């Protein structure tokens, strides 16, 4: 029973460290002051995505083929990046990711995590282990990584000019989006 929790906790936690998702959360966190809402949105997204993986095991790709998901994810990242680069008034909270961090975090996870290695891992673990414990271990790992990313983003927000962060974040999102088309 303990392996049902610990195995996904360790493997998902390690797999997400430095992953595009953690980087994306860090970048979103550096663009907003409402970090709690961002955290809640990201975790809601993970619960839906990884909950679905646990529920339907490894058959997610049958319903949503990876060949469709990767380009869609790439497009979403490029759009977020372009929006960040396009923002003129850095003190303005006019962009969707600044105005509603909960919705931004939720949307980012929902649109980009389908077919991700950690989602597939959660689905595969659910085949052999207790699905509730697998989901608990997976969510715990993702929560720890999300907290790290949010606090790193918060630190960056207080130390570096917002327009510099915005440009770097925009370019990073575009590069991550383009990466989806190469892999």
pLDDT 10s per residue in the chain (183 long)? Answer: 788 899 889 888 887 877 778 888 888 888 888 889 999 999 999 999 999 888 876 454 456 566 776 787 678 778 877 876 776 544 443 344 557 899 989 998 988 888 777 887 888 788 778 889 999 999 999 999 999 988 888 787 677 776 776 677 678 778 877 887 886
**Separation of alpha carbons 2 and 98, rounded Å:** 40
| φ and ψ at residue 172, rounded to 5 degrees | -65, -45
């Amino acid at each position: 029973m303990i392996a049902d929790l610990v195995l996904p906790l360790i493997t998902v936690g390690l797999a997400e460290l430095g992953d595009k998702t953690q980087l994306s959360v860090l970048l979103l966190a550096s663009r907003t002051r409402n970090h709690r809402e961002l955290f809640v949105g990201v975790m809601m997204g993970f619960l839906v995505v990884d909950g679905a993986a646990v529920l339907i095991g490894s058959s997610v790709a049958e319903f949503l083929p990876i060949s469709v998901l990767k380009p869609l994810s790439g497009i979403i990242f490029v759009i977020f990046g372009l929006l960040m680069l396009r923002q003129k008034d850095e003190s303005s909270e006019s962009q969707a990711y600044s105005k509603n961090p909960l919705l931004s975090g939720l949307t980012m996870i929902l649109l980009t995590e389908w077919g991700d290695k950690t989602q597939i891992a959660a689905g595969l673990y659910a085949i052999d282990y207790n699905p509730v414990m697998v989901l608990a271990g997976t969510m715990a790992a993702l929560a720890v990584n999300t907290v790290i990313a949010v606090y790193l983003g918060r630190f960056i927000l207080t130390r570096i000019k917002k327009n510099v962060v915005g440009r770097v974040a925009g370019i990073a999102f575009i590069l991550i989006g383009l990466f989806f088309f190469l892999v």
